[in-house]
């Protein structure tokens, strides 16, 4: 008999971390230390912001580039700016999840959409030698921080640490209980 999951907190997770082949290269980044370790304690909602924005799998790799006072999401070859489509899809997805009581989010480290403070900001002034000039959060995570600043967010890499995993789960439970 399957357990009643309606009493568990809803946690968004980058879909590639649960084994979905949604990454730019058609691969996944299955993370059993997250998915398997927390599956008895949360209800997962798999999210790929790039697929939600209508991008295909596979797709050209992308990175964040500075453009004045903002960052833009460009394909590596510099031909397509996906910034607005990703932000629009992120806003729709996040608003839906917040309305459904999302209590946390687990994000893929270093992703241009899902990274948590570790997404490279690139300088491509010299196209043959792109250079990392800083780090930030990916566009989906930035949008989540703006629309749901109270939502705990952790990267898959941070959750390798059992102490961080426990701390994240405690934050998720507190958020979930505060919504009851």
Residue 2 scores a pLDDT above 50: no
Confidence grade of residue 4 (pLDDT, cut at 50, 70, 90): low
Segment 105-123 mean pLDDT: 98
Crossing angle for the helix pair 139-147 and 83-99, nearest 10 degrees?
A: 40
Q: Which letter, b or e, does each residue of 116-127 get, where b requires 16 or more Cβ atoms within 10 Å of its Cβ?
A: bebbbbbebeee
Which residue did the predictor score with more confidence, 16 or 128? 16
pLDDT on residue 70: 95
Cα 93 to Cα 147: distance, rounded to the nearest angstrom:
11
What is the DSSP secondary structure assignment for residue 76, as one 8-state letter? T
């Amino acid at each position: 008999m399957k357990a009643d999951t309606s009493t568990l907190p809803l946690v968004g997770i980058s879909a590639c971390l649960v084994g979905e082949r949604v990454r730019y290269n058609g691969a996944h980044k299955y993370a059993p230390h997250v998915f398997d370790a927390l599956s008895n304690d949360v209800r997962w909602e798999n999210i790929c912001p790039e697929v939600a924005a209508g991008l295909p799998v596979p797709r050209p790799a992308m990175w964040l580039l500075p453009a004045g006072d903002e960052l833009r999401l460009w394909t590596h070859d510099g031909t397509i700016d996906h910034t607005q489509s990703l932000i629009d899809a992120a806003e729709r997805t996040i608003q839906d999840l917040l309305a459904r009581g999302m209590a946390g989010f687990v994000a893929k480290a270093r992703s241009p959409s899902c990274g948590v403070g570790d997404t490279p900001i690139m300088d491509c002034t010299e196209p043959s030698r792109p250079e990392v000039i800083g780090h930030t959060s990916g566009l989906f995570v930035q949008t989540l921080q703006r629309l749901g600043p109270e939502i705990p967010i952790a990267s898959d890499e941070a959750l390798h640490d059992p102490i961080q995993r426990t701390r994240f789960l405690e934050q998720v439970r507190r958020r979930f209980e505060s919504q009851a």
